[in-house]
Amino acid sequence: MDDLKITGPWSVPDIEAYFDQATIPMRLSVIAKSGWPVVLSLWFLFEDGVFKCVSRGHSKVISFLQNNPRCGLEIAGETVPYHGVRGQGTAEIIEHGAAKLLERLTDRYIGQDETPFRKWLLAGSAEEVAITLKPIRLMSWDYRSRMTK
């Protein structure tokens, strides 16, 4: 994360720790072919300075990112006191490795129990592609000290 611009109250280790413990989806903003922004949610891992996500290869988010790899992101909860990280980055679509990444994401977000939902997700792993999002700017905010009851 050497060429990354960081602003806000959190240090790089604070931001990385937040990404590691936050089991909430990333809100990703992409530009549709119409030119309008679209916001969607994706499960993520943050490793080696990049976000790693998956989506079906034929999904609209993949075609939007192939058309324009620039995107915005936010990782923040919806309950007070508000805190989180938002930023901008560029995405790369990677055709290989998505099945293993999907398994790791399901472990993180829904656990390793062999539930029907987990089985359904993993059954479609051959259709998934990986999204690697390299952040160029990250801005943290933390209102916990002024919003505590």
Q: What is the pLDDT of residues 78-105, one digit of tens each?
A: 877 788 999 999 999 999 989 999 999 9
Q: Is the pLDDT of residue 146 over 80?
A: no
pTM confidence score: 0.91
Write the CB contacts of 70 (distance below 8 Å, at least 6 apart in sequence): 31, 88, 89, 90, 91
Residue with the larger pLDDT of the pair 126 and 108: 108
CA distance 140 to 15: 7
Query: Domains, the chain, ranges and CATH?
Result: 5-141 (2.30.110.10)
